[in-house]
Amino acid sequence: MTGTIPLILDVDTGIDDSLALLYAAASPEAEIVAVTCVGGNVDAHQVERNTRSVLELAGRTDIEVALGRDRPIVRPIETTPETHGPQGLGHAELPPPSRPLSDRNGVDVIIDAARRRPGEITLVTCGPLTNLAIALLREPELPHLLKGWVLMGGAYRHPGNTAPTTEWNIHCDPEAAKIAFAAWGESATANGHPRAVALGLDVTEQAKIVPDDVVALARAAGSTPDDSLALARGEDPMQATRSVASNPIVRYIADALRFYMEFHARYDGFYGAFIHDPLAVAAALDPSLIRTRTIAVDIELGGTLTTGETVADWRGVWGQPPNVDVAVEADAPEFMRRFVERVGRLAAARST
């Protein structure tokens, strides 16, 4: 597949993970090698069901979906139904998936693909780092075998979204994050391999979708009605009980995002949603969407108020080699333009 970018997506599907899957499926340059599942937004078994249903909605039943570890390395399982809904997809309802779950473990899928295609595959992690940490413990050469690792995780010069200084994906399994950050840093320092590329809340909260964007996506898909008249009257069409869009992907997105937007209206003071994970996938496909700074980052494990914090040494006071390329700026308008265009095009192709 000349000209494509091979990806493995490790997800905890979740609303924004589902949009990341749709973005990847809609991107012609993306070769989705596999999708592996981990608990986070919802429990891991619900994650794999959501993932298979979303990929089926996108027409991608060809992609292997594998369940990895169903609990953090050390800590109890935490999920966030108040953010993503009881099933993880907001107000949306999708049919049960028809294609079976892979009989392989997600950790095996990551290791086997990296060994089979050394230096080719980029891993994009959109949830807690449990699967990656276990893969690293079993195959320490993984940073050398993969082309790169892009993660949505952390808060570097930005408030947290779980505790004052911590971000959800790192919070759920900080021990796994510490293993992964350390392993990648050691490999980059010793062998010159690429560092991890981290998109934290610093940039992902710039990726903000609002009802106007959903209307634009509906129009790009040729879906009717597009609710533009309601918007022109100052009404919010996404307050409806269920989307009435004719296109199934547009209906799904509107119903899923309405829950997410209601959450952000309660806690963040705006009616819209941060779509963290699609930005990470977009940056893995096109690094020009972000600007990074290389720094040393470690994970706090023992703080009474700060466990799970991504501690970033911006001034270099540790004297340690930098181990992470942290995104400090993102071209959010261009990303949103691509999201609407690409997912709208996918939706149009799946209209029947």
DSSP string, 68-134: --SS-SSSPP---HHHH-TTSSTT---PPPSSPPPSS-HHHHHHHHHHHSTTTPEEEE-S-SHHHHH
Catalytic one among 84, 171, 193, 276?
276
How far, in whole angstroms, is CA 317 from its chain's centroid?
31
Length reported for the chain: 352
Question: Shortest CA distance to 327 belongs to which of 216, 160, 196?
Answer: 196
Alpha-carbon distance of 37 to 10, in angstroms, equals 6
Cβ neighbors of 153 (< 8 A, separation 6 or more) are 125, 129, 167, 169, 170, 177, 198, 199, 200, 310
Does the active-site annotation cover 158?
A: no
Burial of residue 116, with CB atoms counted within 10 A of its CB: 0-12 exposed, 13-18 middle, 19 or more buried:
exposed
Alpha-carbon distance of 51 to 185, in angstroms, equals 30
Percent composition of the chain: helix, strand, coil (DSSP 3-state, to 5): 45, 15, 40
The residues annotated as belonging to the active site are 276
